[in-house]
Structure 1
Amino acid sequence: MQWSLLRSVGLVPAALVLSIIAANAEGGKSAGPSEFLLIAQIVLLIAVGRGLGEVMQRIGQPSVIGELLAGILLGPSLLGWIWPEAQQAIFPKTPEQKAMIDGIAQFGILLLLLLTGMETDLKLVRKIGKAAIAISIAGIVVPFACGFALGEFLPDALLPDPQQRLVTSLFMGTALSISSVKIVAVVVREMNFMRRNVGQIIVATAVVDDTIGWIIIAVIFSLASQGTLDVASVAKAVLGTLIFLAVSFTIGRRLVFRLIRWANDTLVSTAPVITVILLLMGTMALITHLIGVHTVLGAFVAGILVGESPILTRQIDERLRGLISSFFMPVFFGLAGLSADLSVLRDPHLLVLTGLLVLIASVGKFGGAFVGGTVGGLNYRESLALASGMNARGSTEVIIATIGLSIGVLSQNLFTMIVTMAIVTTMAMPPMLRAALARLPMNKEEKERLEREELEKRGFVANLERPLLAVDESVNATLAAHIAGLIAGMRGLPITVLHVGGLAKEQEKGRDEETSHEAVVKKAAETVSGSGEAGGVDIVTRTRRAELGEAIANEARKGFDLLVVGVEKVTAIKDRFDVKVEDIAAEFDGPLAIVAAKGRHLKQPMPDTLNILVPVSGSGVSKRGAEVAVALAQARSGSLRVIYVATTRDKGVQRGASRGLIQEEGILKDTSELAARYDVDITTTLRVNRAPEAAILREIDTTDVDLVVMGVDRIQADHLSFGGVADAVLRQSKVSVLLISSGEARRTPVEKA
């Protein structure tokens, strides 16, 4: 299958080569840049790069290796050797034509660094910051010394100017010492090691490496261009970088979040948030360029800030990832492969020197990173895995070598040797890293973190990004605000409070700031986080300036993923909800949380603790209710009771009591494990052969609970309905009830809790 894939990929480039040659033969060579050639180059790089990337992934290598190989195959190393006319026709060396596709590639790498920054866990990076700095310093100093020494012993024939050997040696040292954060990030992500502790250390260290490396390059460039060291430009780069990082992670963090929310809530054009993020990325890249550091640092920091923004990160990631992977990455990494002319290595002397360069570069970087990891507090196996990951040079070396070639401190042969080293070390990195990590067992803390993150990927509460609170001036509203504040405070989620009790002018009369719902939300969030700043929760107040349905619809389009409803009257006659609740639910397609305060919460709607009962049935929406219950119990240090009611309608009971009990006990065990992951103590109860609503109400009467949390399905009907069990509990319970609904209505009523 892989060979057939290769053959099919080969047909497209061959057809394009022939068409381009035919076009050139008919019309002659164009004096200026050609759009036709640009499109042909892009099609070739995508077709061959993605095809070879597919093959690489099937044999356990990251796709970036295939994209680099595509550039080598289409460049002077193979196509230029076999059919030089075609290669030169497709990829002419005219500056104007080359600049066109280079521009696309460079913007693509900024997007890649943006995405990498979004996936970087800054808390984990801070935790291992000491290790990252130690690794970076040792990982630069050791290979830099090796590269410098090699440059001092190179034969004069390889030097563009033997009188400038010092500058060439400094360039060699720099080329050998820097890891490519772009290649490292791509490989670590594609190998699914991004969330491992070592993976985070590798990426963080590569970023530090890259930053230090560009400052070193600024120093060397000053020496090469002026013959003396320009202290002012170096100081500008160092101080500018420090100021840029300080401002970005203080004022910038808040500003980015506000920009994203403003764009999402205010602009009506298509994909406004993506537009703002791209502008932000470009601006920060320009700033880092102006202070004398490479643009990738600005894009990476922009990605971190976007990733830390508490809203819309999943949608942004999904929209960007496909475009970057399918378009920009094959172009960028393909061009890196095109830059190397490996045909010169047919000279045995150059081949030996290139092998020596690869050896020195690998030993120097591997040894330096290993020593740095040990000094930074990593154990032997972690340091081994880290050193394996840091050995990839990739496109950074190509950029450095290109700079050296352009300013005359590297010869064409030295350039090819450095690019070859970059390709070899990049291709060697994935198997080395995979082998090293295979010998690196996860410690208990890391295993628990990864399991929790995997669980959270499928979870409801952990994936919430933006709750909306719709309230009037009732006790129900106060309890709803308290619950919403607890949920928001756990993860620092921004929350919007929409007052639906009346029109704006009526609501603005006599509002007390200390007892307002915003104050309740803030206080609840502070109790969770222990912070005096609402746990990082940003609260926005909106008053209803239109009919209720229209007001909810206007807010719903802004991307809220949970609507918490707290209004004075919840139920009406028979099995109907109050008309206000129905109007709210009709305009919101996502999950609802409907609050009804009862019992002790009528006098104390902001309780110090919550003793929660949660009925479970094994369904998805039931698990959602359990997740919310666990989160609330964790936030308020309360108790949690879980009840499973097995009725004669359950298939397990019909097959036999023993088999049925195994199933129910498994469901209770799953819920217990969920609670254990968040250090919440729970009590489980199994009731058999009772009507669900009767069993739940009996449990309420016989235990000291003050809140029932139920996950319920919306049932398709001409009015809002969650089924008979939920209706009975909501109406007959003596304690407060919180209904957590699914986002879509089910066609068939299901009588389960």
Structure 2
Amino acid sequence: MVIRWARLQPTIWTAVITLIACLTVAHAEGRDAAKPSEFVLLAQIVLLIAVGRGLGELMQRIGQPSVIGELLGGLLLGPSLFGWLWPSAQGVIFPSSGEQKALLDGIAQFGILLLLLLTGMETDLKLVRKVGRAAVTISIAGIAVPFVCGFALGEFLPQDLLPHPEARLIASLFLGTALSISSVKIVAVVVREMNFMRRNVGQIIVASAILDDTIGWIIIAMIFSLASHGRLDLASVAQALFGTLAFLAVSFTIGRRLVFRLIRWANDALVSSAAVITVILLLMSVMAMITHLIGVNTVLGAFVAGMLVGESPILTRQIDERLRGLISSLFMPVFFGLAGLSADLTVLKDPSLLLLTAALVLIASVGKFGGAFVGGALGGLSRRESYALASGMNARGSTEVIIATIGLSMGVLSQTMFSMIVTMAILTTMAMPPMLRAALARLPLGEEEKERLAREEFEERGFVANLERLLLAVDESANAIFAAHLAGLLAGGRGLPITVLHVGARARLQEKKRASAESHEAAIISAARTSAEVEPDGGGRVEVLSRAQEKTAEEAIAEEAKKGFDLLVVGMDKVAGGDGGFDRQIDDLTSGFDGPLAIVAAKGIHRKEPTARARKILVPVSGSNVSRRGAEVAIALARLSPEPLQVVYVSTTRDRGARRSSASMSLAREEAILKDMAANAARYDVHVGTTLRANTAPEVAILQEISASGADLVVVGVDRIRGDSLNFGSVAAAVLGKSTASVLLVSDGEVRPKT
């Protein structure tokens, strides 16, 4: 605890200094209190950030979400404590004048939109589709039961707790919604902290919370429409309902493509700093305004915008972290701190209100826990899994506070009811982490789940699974079409965007023919659709952007490389040069790209039919990182081949001096490497055949295996060697020059010294 106190001292001193500064100018500000003060606004923001983030840090250290600290910060600075102990000082820093409050309210209202944007970005729709029936059943049951309980409670509330007793229906609907929705952010944080995000039950918990949030914001949008009319107007409800459905339909069809293209355009075309973040904020604001115009709340537009932005395949980690940093460090402590300021827990000194608040917490907890537990049982989960699920779904956190704030601002909830809901949100959220940890710790790991986790762990460290964007440089040759075909197979499995850069004398003409059936773009799209045979979840859908070389090849590649590509695939008519290296044009193309390369050389059937599927794929391995990278690419391509992947162990050039003189010497290491490769392939349902050629020169071993296996494509992981021209070493040069099968050379971005 001493360490925690020492680390929190700077934050506490900041809050104290701000308090003293505010009180020092109290007389000066008080003389003209009718006018809003920028100083007071800054003091409010500094206090909310310092106290909220400081308490958030403390909460995280004791295993609680940081949002609880931000809420508690507002409660401490508001009438619940500071205003109760020193009302005059609290009135100076947080005056009740309308204009002064409007300044902070404006920041908080924009903060709501940003919080919903962030929540939407964390919404993984693929995860919802993956767990399917279980998540839908759990979400419906988990919402219906507490909603009915909350609605019934609202119908029996004393009239003095309602701001407008004649609008009890709206208040009851709002209360039912507030009790029924889980906080996907809190749930996801706790599940992630416990390393359960990849476990089956962890995915179901998060997916159910995502559906809860999505359904909840649609319900809130409907209730907002009702509240704005003050009565049950069927025409207005129908307008809001169909407007919402139309908005969602357009957003997830045309809107998804438009958002992706806007983000891509900002990333590729704009040179100013933080251009993508600017576009994201504009998209959020425009979609929020659209939902307002159709008669529903702006939060729905911000939430949907976040979901679309989160699905963008080129949203880089750096952009994502910048945006999250801005929201987490400024808008979250201000919004949740203001929510705490608006709550007055001193009302709970009234025994009847304290009892009613306890009943509210009990109804919320029992209703949500019971509904989620029943939903889990109906969804096919075991008793232990249902218990863990119900424990996780009981966290309200940020979501309830946002809903309660909206209800308060709309006049649907009274100040007392708002304080009671905030109390409920804090208590249920603080109870969730220890309950969920205890429940998850007792869940056993099944064999099928263990295999899936091993595969995902392998992918996390892998090369192909972490590709996000490909750049394809091609001319008009058959080899270029073959390169486009391979790039489409790699990209199609996960829906990666591809930029096709046409180079050479006919670059402009090739770019204009992009819509023809014989174009490179058509080859990519056709190959991507083929990927859907083994990746039905995300395969077959790729975005292809075409560009024609307008500068030298080196300058064109260097300019494209600035936009962030993970792999450059090169398909040119002439690959090998006269000196055993690469053709001069390939040298020029690759000199401007520092990342991983894939050089394609079509031979045999692929010269005549560039889009023909490779029937037999061969990959040499040696245990090195580069050979593993080649094996990953080969496994990804072999998933689409009718015959098993052929894996051959070859010694590296470094092993030549130590090559075995006796076949009787131990080959345990080599056999272990082959078994490891076979296990990696089995994770993707790829069958393999293995061969051991440890006592033969690597280039000879590869060429012999090509002939023996009848392979029509060989994938080789290679080192990029430092020099004046592109050099992958003597083994790659020999295979490229003498192979009868098509060759795909894959290197990483590291340039190694010549040995």
Q: 1:493 to 1:33 in 2, by over 3 A?
A: same
Give the aligned partner of residue 721 of structure 1.
727
| Superposed displacement of residue 583, structure 1 | 0.3
Corresponding residue for residue 532 of structure 2: 529
Of the candidates 300, 303, 328, which is equivalent to residue 303 of structure 2?
300
C-alpha spacing 1:219/1:386, structure 2 compared with 1 (3 Å)? farther
Residue by residue over 1:469-511, the C-alpha shift from the partner in whole angstroms, topping out at 9 and shown as x without a partner, is: 2122333223212211211222222323222131546758999
Cα offset for 1:430? 2.2
Q: How far apart are the structure 1 equivalents of 2:510 and 2:568? A: 20
Matches within 5 A, 1:198-209: 198-209=204-215
Instruction: Check whether the contact 2:656–2:697 (CA below 8 A) recurs between aligned residues.
Output: no
Other-structure match for 1:363: 366
Structure 2 counterpart of 1:700, one-letter code: I
Evaluate the alpha carbon distance shift between residue 436 and residue 663 of structure 1 in structure 2; reply closer, same or farther with a 3 A threshold.
same
Q: Deviations over 1:654-685 (max 9, x none)?
A: 99999985554444343223211111112233
Superposed CA offset, 1:521-580 (max 9, x none): 233223222599992223333332332222223332332322111112222233532110
Normalised by the length of structure 1, the TM-score is 0.89
The alpha-carbon distance between structure 1 residues 722 and 96, as it changes in their structure 2 partners (threshold 3 A), is farther
Q: In the alignment, residue 24 of structure 1 is paired with which amino acid?
A: A
Q: Aligned ranges for residues 701-740 of structure 1 at < 5 Å?
A: 701-740=707-746
Counterpart CA distance in 2 for 1:669 and 1:220 is: 64
Over 3 Å counting, the alpha-carbon distance change for 1:693 and 1:403 in structure 2 is closer
The aligned counterpart of 2:395 is 392
**How much does 1:740 deviate?**
1.0
Q: For residue 296 of structure 1, what is the amino acid of its counterpart?
A: V
After superposition, residues 260-339 of structure 1 pair within 5 angstroms as 260-339=263-342
Give 1:541's aligned residue.
546
* 1:539–1:287 CA distance, 2 compared to 1 (3 A): same
Name structure 2 gaps, 5 residues minimum: none
What CA distance in whole angstroms lies between the structure 1 residues aligned with 2:338 and 2:276? 30
Contact 1:147 1:176 in 2 (8 A): yes
Task: Judge conservation of contact 1:373–1:386 (CA < 8 Å) in 2.
Answer: yes
- Residue 640 of structure 2 aligns to a residue whose secondary structure is helix
Once residues 401 and 509 of structure 1 are traced to their aligned partners in structure 2, the CA distance between those partners, rounded to angstroms, is 55
- Counterpart in 2 of 1:673? 679
Amino acid in structure 1 at the alignment position of 2:114: L
> Hey, what's the Cα distance between the residues in 2 that align with 1:492 and 1:400?
36
Is 1:589 paired with 2:594? Answer: yes
> What letter matches 1:428 in structure 2?
A
Gap runs ≥5 in structure 1: none
The aligned runs of 1:155-554 (5 Å cut-off) are 155=158, 158=161, 169=172, 171-181=174-184, 183-184=186-187, 196-215=202-221, 217-218=223-224, 221=227, 226=230, 228-402=231-405, 405=408, 410-441=413-444, 447-504=450-507, 513-530=516-533, 535-554=540-559
Q: Deviations over 1:696-741 (max 9, x none)?
A: 3333343322222122222222222222332333233332221112
Q: Which residue of 2 aligns with 1:58?
A: 61
Give the CA deviation at 1:347.
3.5
How big is the shift at 1:250?
1.8
For 2:754, the equivalent position in structure 1 comes to 749
Contact 1:503 1:545 in 2 (8 A): no
The residue identity in structure 2 corresponding to 1:523 is: S
Shift in CA distance, 505/518, structure 1 to aligned 2, threshold 3 Å: closer
**Aligned residues of 2:222 and 2:240 also touching (Cα < 8 A):** no
Q: CA deviation at 1:400?
A: 4.5
SS at match of 2:421: helix
**Cα displacement (A) at 1:259:** 2.2
Residues 642, 394 of structure 1: alpha-carbon distance in 2 compared, 3 angstrom cutoff: same
Identity of aligned residues (%): 68
Residues in 1 aligned to 2:171 and 2:583: alpha-carbon distance in whole angstroms: 80
Please say if residues 137 and 372 of structure 1, whose CA atoms lie closer than 8 Å, have aligned partners that are also in contact: yes
Q: Distance in 1 between matches of 2:417 and 2:294?
A: 29
Q: How far does residue 161 in structure 1 lie from its aligned partner after superposition?
A: 6.8
Would you say 1:105 and 2:111 are equivalent positions? no
Q: Which residue of 2 aligns with 1:692?
A: 698
Change (3 A) 1:668 1:109: farther
Moved more, 446-455 or 467-476: 446-455
1:630/1:680 contact within 8 Å kept: yes
Counterpart for residue 643 of structure 1: 648
Contact 1:115–1:317 (CA under 8 A) maintained in structure 2: no
Q: Determine the C-alpha separation between the residues in 2 that align with 1:714 and 1:315.
A: 27
Alignment check: 8 A CA contact 2:177 2:216 kept = no
- Describe the shift of the 1:416–1:493 C-alpha distance in structure 2 as closer, same or farther (beyond 3 A): closer
1:5 is matched with which residue: 7, 17, 23?
7
Structure 1 residue 285, shift from structure 2 partner: 1.9
How many residues get paired? 746
User: CA 1:33 to 1:377, structure 2 compared with 1: closer, same or farther past 3 Å?
Assistant: farther
Mean Cα displacement is larger for which, 645-654 or 717-726?
A: 645-654
Deviation for aligned residue 1:148: 4.1
Whether the 8 Å CA contact 1:158–1:411 is kept in 2: the answer is yes
Q: 1:34 aligns with which of 16, 20, 37?
A: 37
Deviates more, 1:162-171 or 1:428-437: 162-171
Aligned 8 A contact 1:613 1:709 in 2: yes
> Contact conserved, 2:408 with 2:414, CA < 8 A, in 1?
yes
Q: Given that residues 177 and 219 in structure 2 are in contact (C-alpha distance below 8 angstroms), is that contact kept between their aligned partners in structure 1? A: yes
| Structure 2 length-normalised TM | 0.89
Q: Give the residue type in structure 2 aligned to 1:93.
A: S
Partner in structure 2 of residue 15 of structure 1? 17
**1:567 aligned onto 2:572:** yes
- Greater shift, 437-446 or 594-603, is seen at 437-446
1:735–1:333 CA distance, 2 compared to 1 (3 A) = same
Task: Report which stretch shifted further, 140-149 or 708-717.
Answer: 140-149
Offset of 1:13 from its aligned partner?
Answer: 0.8
Check 1:637–1:468 CA distance in 2 against 1; reply closer, same or farther (3 A cut). Answer: farther
Match of 1:80 in 2: 83
Does the 8 Å contact 2:515/2:521 carry over to 1?
no
Q: 1:591 to 1:161 in 2, by over 3 A?
A: closer
Shift of 1:596: 1.6
In structure 2, how many angstroms separate the alpha carbons of the residues matched to 1:308 and 1:412?
Answer: 38
Amino acid at match of 2:21: S
Tell me: CA distance 1:492–1:649, structure 2 relative to 1, closer, same or farther (3 Å).
Answer: closer
Question: What one-letter code is carried by the residue in structure 2 that aligns with 1:359?
Answer: L
Please give the per-residue CA displacement for 1:129-158, whole angstroms capped at 9, x wherever unaligned: 555554444434433443344445545665
**CA shift at 1:689, angstroms?**
4.6
When residues 2 and 105 of structure 1 are mapped into structure 2, their CA distance, relative to the original with a 3 A threshold, is same
| Paired residues of 2:483 and 2:570 also in contact (CA < 8 A) | yes
CA 1:380–1:688: 2 relative to 1, 3 Å = same
Whole-angstrom distance in 1 between the partners of 2:653 and 2:568: 35
Counterpart Cα distance in 2 of 1:288 and 1:191: 37
Distance in structure 1 (CA, Å) of the matches to 2:276 and 2:457: 27
- Worse-superposed segment, 133-142 or 57-66: 133-142
Paired letter, 2:99: E
